[in-house]
Structure formats: C-alpha cells, structure tokens
Structure 1
Amino acid sequence: MIRTQRGTRAVVVGIVFCLLLSATLAPVSKAALPTTDVDSVGPERSTAAATVSDSANNTTASDNGTTGSDVLSGVAAYRLSRAESDELVPVILVFDDQSRDGGGRNDTTTRAQIRATTNRTQSDVREFLDARRANGTVADVKPFWTRNALAVEATPAVVRTLGGMPNVSAIHYDRPIYATGSVSPSVSAYLDSLSAYGETVRPDSVQRATSGTESWSVKSIGADAVQERGITGTGANVSVIDSGIDDSHPALRGQVVRWQDFVGDSSQPFDPWGHGTHVAGTVAGRTDANRSVGVAPGARLFGARALNADGQGSMSDVMAAMEWSAENHADVVSASLGASPFPLEYRGERGVRPNETGTADIELYANGSGVYQTNAKYDGFKPAYVYVLVEPTRVGGEQIQSDERRAEVMRNLSVTLRDPAGETPLRGVDAGWWFADGRVPAQIAYQRFTPRNGTAIETPGNWSLDVENDHPESVSYRYRTTAYYPSNGSDQFSRYVDSLVTTTDTVAVISAGNAGLLGNRSVASPGASAGAITVGASRQTASDVTSFSSRGPVGFGADRRPGIDLIAPGENVTSAYSTSQTDEAEPYVTRDGTSMAAPHVSGTVALLLDANPNATRSDVTRVLRSTARPLPQTAPTVGAGMLDTWSAVNETAELPPSVTTETAPPTDPDGDGRYEDVNGDGNVTLADVQTLFAHRNAGAVEDSQEAFDFSGNGRVNVVDVQALFAAVREN
C-alpha cells in the first residue's frame, strides 16, 4: 500500500524545519539529556544533541547520489532519506524559466504568453507523472502558472528521477502552513518555561464578546465614516484564504459569491474551525447584522479554504488557493497565515567547578537548508540571532531550593557565545521585554545574541556556549539555546507571492506573524515577500504595536528592507465566529493577532477600489503607505505607520459631501485659536472631520485659514482633515 507523508505531518514531534511554522508549532520534544555530576566534570564539551527531528539526532541528510539529487533542497533531501520506498512525499518542483512577468505587464495577452511558456517547460514532467498515476507512485499533481512550478506527492524514487528531468531547477519540500494564532508557538514554548520565574508578557487569545453593537477597530481606522459616505467596497472581490467561511452567519449571509475547498471536497461554504469566519467578518461583515464588524460590507467575498479543521494546510494548498483567486478575478487575496522563523534548539545540563568555564557545543549553519544537508545551496532562511537561557540547578552538590539562593548563584555566572575561532562576534542583551516588568528575573540568564554589524550570522560551524563560574562552589546549570533562521524574502513561498502579484496585479495582504517577542527579524513567510502588503498588529488603547506582532527588517545588507508595510488593529478585535463552533445563533468573539490586523487592510483596499475602480496594485500600496498615520516606532516595527482608512480613501478619490452641509458657526472649545468644533454643534467629533472635509475649499474656510489650519502648513487642505481626525480619535 502506498503511504503519504501528508497525513502524518501533524504528529511529527520536534524541531524540524518543515514543521516549525507560525501558529501551531509543537513544543520542543524533551529528549532525555544527562544530568552531570559537577564533582566529576571538567570543562569538556557537552554531548547534548540539538532537537532537529522526530527520531534522528543527526542534522545532515544523506544524499543517495541518484539522479537529480543536486537540485534537492536540504529539507527535501532529508525527507526523502527518511521516507519508506512506497511513501508519497509532498514536494514542489521549480522550473528554469522564471523570467515570465512580461516586463511588468499583466494584460490578457501577456498572461496567455506566460501560460504557454509554463505549459511548454512543464510538459515532459507532466507526461511523466501522468504515466505513473496508475501504479500509485504519484498523486495530487498541481501545476502552477503564476510561478513556473508544480506540486506533487510522489515516492522517493520518482522525486529523484524528476530532479534529473529537463527544466527542473529545484525541488523543495511542500511544507505545512498554519493560520497565525494569537502568539506563535515558537514563542509559546519559551513563555511556558519563563513563566516559572516571573510574570511573562502574553496576549489574550479568544474572549466572548458580550456587549456593544459595533467593532472599535472599524471606527478607529475611520472605515465607518467612509461607509457613511456611500463607499462600502461595492464591486471589489476579496478572497479570504483560510479555514473557510460560515456564510450562514447573519453578518456574512449573501457575502460569499465564490467558493473552493482545497483541503476537502465541500461544494458549499463552511468553516469547521472559525478562524476564517472571523477574518471574513472583519473584511466584509454586513452592517445590518447585530454587530457592525466589517470594514467593507459591500465587498464580495471569495471563500478559498486552504486550511483544515486544525488550521493546517500545505504551501501548495495556499498557492493553489491564491492562483484560483487570481484566475477568478479577485482584486485582493487576504491571507492570515504563514511560517515563522525556523528555530534550531540545543538543550542540556552542565556542571562547572569554581573559577572554570563550562562549555556546550552549538552548531550553526549557513542557511536553514544546511541543517539537513551540509552543502545546501538554497538560502531563503539565514541565521539571524540566538536566544540563550541559563538556570542554576545545583550548588555544592545540593539542589537549589529557593529563588533567593538561585539568584545569588546566578550573579556569579557569566554567559558568553563564541564562534568556531573562539571570538565573540555576537552581542548579548537581556531579553527583559519577555517579562511584564521589563526585567529578566535575577535567578536566570536570558539573553538575545545578535551580530554586532547587523548582518546575518556569517560564521557557520561549531559554536560554544561558555558559562564562567566565579562562585566559590561547583555549580550545575540547565541551558537552552535556540538559533533562529528568518526568511530573507527569497524562500519559495515568498517568491511565489512575488510572482503572483506581478503576473496578475492582484493585491496580496498578508499577516506579519505573531513572533514579535523574538524581536527584530521575526516576520513570517510569505509575509516576507517584497510584493505583499505585510501587516502588523496595533494595540486597542494606544497608537503602538502589540508585543506579539512580528517585526522586520527582512533581508540583509543591500537587500535589507523594513518588512512591515503598516500596522492595523490586532488586539481585542470583535468579529463573526463560525456557528458550528458554538450553540449561539449569531456568535461573535474577540481575538488578538496579526491575523485580525490583515483583514482591516484587505477591507480598506476594497474601499479604495470602490472609490477608484481603476486603481492598480501599485496605486493601492502607495496610498496605504502615504496616508498611514506616522508613529514614533521604527519602520521595521510599524512600517509607514497606523492604517488610516479615511485618509486612504480620500487620497484615492474625493468622497461625496456629507448628508448635511449646512452648519452652525464654528467654535473654538479650548481657546487655542483653532476651531475644532467645525459644525458648531458644541462637540468635537467625527462629524466635525466630515464637515471640514466637505467644506475645506469653501470661501468661509479660505477666509479663515488660521482657524482651520490644524496641521500648521499654512493652508487648509486634506492634511488638516487628517490632523483633526487624529485629534478626535485620540480624545
């Protein structure tokens, strides 16, 4: 019987590159590691192995030397070496000719030419696979044209043969992809350990919403004001690539106009998990439901179910969903999913005598594929930083019983990370931001080591974790080191998104990921794509980014870019929830995550296209960035700033005037010379912003410029509307 790896991926335990993804990373497997007797140990290196796979301690994949082995990525080679001869391994083939974007053109003729080129370069491979379907050595063939690639499940022998066929330039493992939850489990694993020493930073996950009829997040970005002017996203198609959509929910009834199930065979929209329904509700929830949660309630939704009931799919499932969306004329693909930086962990326990140094080996690789294949040439994931946790456990042969004693011992230990030459090119800083009070507890060392020159970690090989003991007694300590390999934007998933958007002019809005506690360089793939609009999460109560929102930059050296385009509401966001997950007739829940932030941007794009149907992808991206409200944080943290839907739509096309254009004389409530109460009703509200916009060119305003020059630019224009809008929101 032919077996497939597809059905067993979820149960694989350990830190395997292809399984360490953004939202449902399993905690690191607890291998049996020796507890060292400090009275008999010297400074020799630790023998503890890295946790890298479900059952293997070796970190390099054997290469059988068969046809096509030189085009296998490290992960693909590793998975093939572990597979049984009759097991189907999911892989993605990339073909030679990728220069098919028509020089930036995406008209019908150019796309037809691209399809023809794709069919020609893939023809031999497709015929080969078709001939092998009958004997069960091949299944689930999915050709793509927006990027010259093909996904297939095949036995190891077939995959290796494919590697030697014409035009096949690379074979990558078709890794699992997960929805981005409230916090990345690659972060959760550390949070669980650190919580034993002090209160850690941890966002809420899911809460029941019990009151109110309107989502705060829709109002905060000004989407409700845009809707009041008759701009609701009408005519725009937004494809939600997720766990499905429950279109029986009153907020979404009639909104889903196209549907395709890529992980099952349902012909009707449904959502067995709820995540996709929440996202869809934020994009286009109806205003006549019990709660107004949608940014663009007039938009048409496509349901592209690429994640199963556990929130898991595959890279090829998501690619297929994106391509189907573009082929069916989706203007926007909204994807709240991805793969967080790949972690490689070592842990163990060491002992060190007074005035000596305990040393543990840590292997760092030139790229993520190198973990599995020492000569791997694919470098989409480069090592960027290392986290180190050290905890004293025994002193003088006695177990440490109190935090005070542990802190006293820790004060006499110093932690250093050295490269193969014994040098210290990485700078370590206390990672106090993981804790509620901003400080690392005194009883442990918890540090983040990064290159001093801002590059990737450039020296692969056998590094060492050195712990020097200045305590008068011997000390035993537990250690845990994790090297992180974030995407530099050249991984296959990110490159697929690049190809999709340039080939079809579809706008790709993708969540940044929820690994923000890792610090800089924590953006998930495919959010690392240069062609995507990558969205971080803002807080509800302040103009700031949440702690869990992943940060840039993406890339190194000359290729370095912020990696975040802008941030949007991602904390305490209320939206629709699948009726299959609750007994309520019209359920709503409140969630946190960049998954919740991205659909605010997707809905805003729909509003932009309603206001100006001729806007291109480049136009949309430019407007979102130029109108975002600037924030004091750096671009890799917040991009251009906070999403400002009102300003973005105004920039795209002038909104119609308000329903009531007659106003009372304006007033100056605070006596500062600026007449914030523009409509003269005695209050400073969004209605004043609307009135100022409608009359900013009227004679009365022009004659009294100083009174309405809220921005201080010497004239009254849309910048003053934005300034007044910002003041109203802050108050």
Structure 2
Amino acid sequence: MANDPMDGQHAFGERPSRSDGSVMGQDSEYTGRYVVLFDPGGQESGIEALRSSAGIASVERVHGTGTGNVAELLERPDVSVLFEDLGAAVVEVRPEQRHALVTTAEAEPSIIAAEPERMVHALPITVSQQAPTAFFPAFRSDEDVVTRHTRAEIAAGQGPYWSEDKWTWGLQAIRAHLSHLTGRGVRISVLDTGVDTDHPDFAGRIEATESFVPGESVEDGNGHGTHCIGTAAGPAGPRQGPRYGVAPEARILAAKVLGNAGSGTDGQILAGMAWAVSHGARVISMSLGASVRPGDLFPQTYEILARRALERGTVIVAAAGNESRRPQDIRPVGRPANCPSILAVAALDRAIAPTFFSNRAINGQGGEINIAAPGWQVRSAAPGGGYQPLNGTSMATPHVAGVVALLAQAHPGASAAELVAALKSGAFPLQQPAVDVGAGLLQAP
C-alpha cells in the first residue's frame, strides 16, 4: 500500500467523467476513492481515526435492507458511505491525504484493509456465426476475450449432439432436469446489469430489485443481467422454447451494479453485496471480474466481505474469467473469483471440456478453480421478453448459483460452508486436471 496508485490524480471533488457518464481517476482503473474494511466491533474508532488523520468526508450510514439513495451517495464527492452490516466503507479522501489514509490503515487496529476502489466494466461482444458470442463483465480489459480463435476451436466446442427440445444442454449436463428440487422459497441474488422486470418468464418471481447505478433504474438495458438471472432461476415452463433455468421456483433478488453501458465501481458491487445479504440471499452470483497476472494476490476487501457473507449464511460464486487462448495461452483465475472464500467457476463446452477461453488455477491461495459448469451457447432470457445464447464463464456461474439454491431447499438448516461442501462433493469427476475444472462437472442434487 506504500506505492499508492492514486497519487497525482484529480483534485478533491473534481472527479473527471467517462464518455458513458461514469467517473474515474487519471488511471481509468481507479476512481480516486478507497474501500475500507473495519473490525466488526471497531467501526466507530476506525471512522474517527480516518477523520482525524486523513480528513475523510462526512459519513453516511447504510443499514439493513433500507438502501435509500445509495447510488447517489456513492457519486457524491463530499460523502463517504459506510455499510454497517458488512463493516465496510467507500471513502472519499483528498489526493494529498491518501498517504495519511494508508498509514492510518496500517497502524489502526480497527481497520483491517484499505484498497483503492476500481472501475468495473462489462464487455459485450457480438460476432458472426463463425464465432461465438461472449459476454464477460470485467474490471479492466483491453481486448476481446473470446473472439480471437480458430474454426477448429469452434468446431471442438460443439461436442456431441444434445437435443434441446425440452431442456437446454446445460440443464441436462448438470442433471437439473432430473432433480425434484426447484429452489422453492430460496433467494438468489444476481449482481449484474439489472433485469427485464417485464419478462413474462419472471412474472411473480422477482422479490426485490435495487439499482446502485446513478441515474439508471434496475431495468436491464444491456442484456447480461437478464441472461444470468434466467439461467439461475428461469421458470420450469418458459413462454417459448426449452426450459433453461436451474432453480425455477427460487426467489429473485436483482441488484444492478453495472450500468447499461456496462460500467460500475467496487463501491456499487459492495453495495449490492450488502443489500443481497440483508435481504436473506442464500447465494450471490457475480458474473464479473478482472484479469490478474501470474503471482498476483487476491483482493483483501472482497475476501473479507465474502467471509462475512458466509458467516451470515450466504454463498458467493463468481466467474473465473475468459482471458485464456487454449492451448497456447492460459491465464490465471481473475478477481474477485480468486478469493479463497468465493467459488470460482470455469466454463465447459458441449463436449464437457474446458472452453478455450476459460481461465486456469495458476496463482496460489484463492486462485483455484472450484467447479465447472456449462458456459458455451447457453440459451437464456433476454430483455424485451425474448431469448439469446451467450458464451463465457459468466454463463457458467449462474448454473452454480441455481444448484446452490437447490441444495439450500434440500437442506434448509445448512450453513453456507455446508452448502459449499455439498456442492463440491456432488460434482462429477472429469478427466481434466483440477486446475481447469476444480471438483468437476456441477451436478444438481
């Protein structure tokens, strides 16, 4: 933390804008703010330490299910936002005070971690029939993550023929179509680009929604969020086509943390996590991430928040990332999926083999692949009441979230750790190494 990436950026209260209206620092990877985690019993002393040493802005507190105007608060340069339930804050600090904040965080016992807040970006890619469609929100990416490939790779990804008259191939691969469980009464929260609240397949199923994106409603003007929600919790009898949802009677909690243009911040994701936990989500699905380099450590902020969520009964699953170009170029699991307390999900094609873009367990603790699920030509809901196929570890992740909901229905008294153990132990072993597929192919109970 001594080498502060935020040094020399914009003046306090003068955060420059992106073309899509979002804000950023001089390096577009960062916003100019910090995410600070406190000891659960030391929030007040930690805040006071930052006030006295780093001159942080006035603090607005968010507690429980009441979110109020959190999206607007997160955009105000004169306010720091404290999420009391999770003991985390998004902190505004003047550029000249950043060193003092870092020094205070290292010395103050009530402050566990302080990391620069990063921008988040969605990365939609639509390509021709000769190329797959990929969609993987990423904190930072300068290249198309799936479009550089060969016809041979595409052909290999088709695998054997799967009849999809009644069920998508993904539901068949994980045996969800054979399960008597439906996720009834279990809450699944998807943190993404929102949801098409008028989609007929979700009628009566959306329990709560919230947008943490300033100036935008929870309505999905992008498509990625609606698709992920459909995979996790689409209905048993969709309006059109085969069944595509894993947990057709689960309750949907939709949090918009990425805007229609696909951008957001760590603070918006943090807000979504706090909201989901306070609403009783048994699983949080995050099909978003950032590429990391070999040897990079996992982010402390996400790891600690994930542990706190687990303690409150919530499992968090996240996409492993799509940066690889197998077999020549294979990249490590991205963040925040590389946190030890977050389940990292790899993508499988129709041949039940890792897709050529799916990342691998290369880094150390936390960088493992935990489980693998269908992530190729996954059909699910689209805004406007329709449907579309998409590819990516983003598409594999909500399959896992749906199975966690089935397990929670079968074992209503189970802890989050017990649900994770059951998920892994129930996986079907594959011939590929664990660094690529973890425990194996996801299986519904």
Query: What is the aligned partner in structure 1 of residue 120 from structure 2?
Result: 177
Deviation at 1:119, TM superposition (A): 3.1
**Counterpart code for 1:613:** P
**Counterpart code for 1:125:** L
Superposed, which structure 2 residues align to 1:143-162 within 5 Å?
143-145=82-84, 148-162=87-101
Residues 502/214 of structure 1: CA separation in 2 closer, same or farther (3 Å cut): closer
Deviation at 1:158, TM superposition (A): 4.6
- 1:334 equivalent to 2:259? Answer no
Residues 243/221 of structure 1: CA separation in 2 closer, same or farther (3 Å cut): same
Find the residue that maps to 2:355 and give its secondary structure. coil
Deviation at 1:187, TM superposition (A): 8.0
CA distance in 1: counterparts of 2:246 and 2:381, whole angstroms: 13
- 1:94 equivalent to 2:43? Answer no
Query: What is the aligned partner in structure 1 of residue 357 from structure 2?
Result: 548
Query: What is the aligned partner in structure 1 of residue 42 from structure 2?
Result: 117
Cα deviation, 1:528-559, whole Å, max 9, x if unaligned, reads 0111111111112x12111111111331xxx4
Query: What is the aligned partner in structure 2 of residue 663 from structure 1?
Result: none
- 1:221 equivalent to 2:174? Answer yes
Deviation at 1:334, TM superposition (A): 0.4
Structure 2 gap segments, 5+ residues each: 16-30, 61-74, 125-133, 157-163
Residues 259/132 of structure 1: CA separation in 2 closer, same or farther (3 Å cut): closer
| Equivalent of residue 510 in structure 1, options 304, 309, 318 | 318
Structure 1 contact 179–336 (Cα < 8 Å) conserved: no
Structure 1-normalised TM-score? 0.49
Deviation at 1:170, TM superposition (A): 5.8
Query: What is the aligned partner in structure 2 of residue 281 from structure 1?
Result: 230
Structure 2 contact 346–372 (Cα < 8 Å) conserved: yes
| Equivalent of residue 640 in structure 1, options 433, 439, 443 | 439
CA distance in 2: counterparts of 1:286 and 1:620, whole angstroms: 23
Residues 73/281 of structure 1: CA separation in 2 closer, same or farther (3 Å cut): farther
CA distance in 2: counterparts of 1:527 and 1:282, whole angstroms: 19
CA distance in 2: counterparts of 1:295 and 1:304, whole angstroms: 19
Residues 191/332 of structure 1: CA separation in 2 closer, same or farther (3 Å cut): closer
- 1:626 equivalent to 2:425? Answer yes
Query: What is the aligned partner in structure 2 of residue 524 from structure 1?
Result: 334
Residues 592/154 of structure 1: CA separation in 2 closer, same or farther (3 Å cut): same
Residues 140/574 of structure 1: CA separation in 2 closer, same or farther (3 Å cut): farther
Q: Which structure has the bigger radius of gyration?
A: 1
Cα deviation, 1:606-627, whole Å, max 9, x if unaligned, reads 1111111112212111111112
Find the residue that maps to 1:501 and give its secondary structure. helix
Find the residue that maps to 1:293 and give its secondary structure. coil
Query: What is the aligned partner in structure 2 of residue 301 from structure 1?
Result: 252
CA distance in 2: counterparts of 1:222 and 1:623, whole angstroms: 16
Superposed, which structure 2 residues align to 1:380-391 within 5 Å?
384=294
Find the residue that maps to 1:75 and give its secondary structure. coil
CA distance in 2: counterparts of 1:157 and 1:550, whole angstroms: 39
Structure 1 contact 147–496 (Cα < 8 Å) conserved: no
Deviation at 1:602, TM superposition (A): 0.4
Deviation at 1:629, TM superposition (A): 0.9
Deviation at 1:123, TM superposition (A): 3.7
Superposed, which structure 2 residues align to 1:533-682 within 5 Å?
533-540=343-350, 542-555=351-364, 559=365, 563-579=368-384, 586-645=385-444, 649=445
Find the residue that maps to 1:92 and give its secondary structure. strand
CA distance in 2: counterparts of 1:621 and 1:143, whole angstroms: 29
Deviation at 1:93, TM superposition (A): 4.4
Residues 180/605 of structure 1: CA separation in 2 closer, same or farther (3 Å cut): farther
CA distance in 2: counterparts of 1:131 and 1:565, whole angstroms: 41
Deviation at 1:216, TM superposition (A): 2.0
Cα deviation, 1:33-87, whole Å, max 9, x if unaligned, reads xxxxxxxxxxxxxxxxxxxxxxxxxxxxxxxxxxxxxx5553233xxx1324653
User: How many residues are treated as equivalent by the alignment?
Assistant: 388
Structure 2 contact 146–323 (Cα < 8 Å) conserved: no
CA distance in 1: counterparts of 2:261 and 2:144, whole angstroms: 19
Find the residue that maps to 1:620 and give its secondary structure. helix
Structure 1 gap segments, 5+ residues each: 1-70, 99-113, 205-210, 343-383, 385-455, 457-486, 580-585, 650-731
- 1:311 equivalent to 2:253? Answer no
The runs of at least 4 aligned residues of structure 1 exceeding 4 Å deviation read 130-133, 145-148, 163-166, 168-171, 183-187, 189-192, 198-204, 518-521
CA distance in 1: counterparts of 2:135 and 2:381, whole angstroms: 20
Find the residue that maps to 2:78 and give its secondary structure. strand
Residues 276/156 of structure 1: CA separation in 2 closer, same or farther (3 Å cut): same
CA distance in 2: counterparts of 1:146 and 1:73, whole angstroms: 30
**Counterpart code for 1:75:** P
Residues 145/526 of structure 1: CA separation in 2 closer, same or farther (3 Å cut): farther
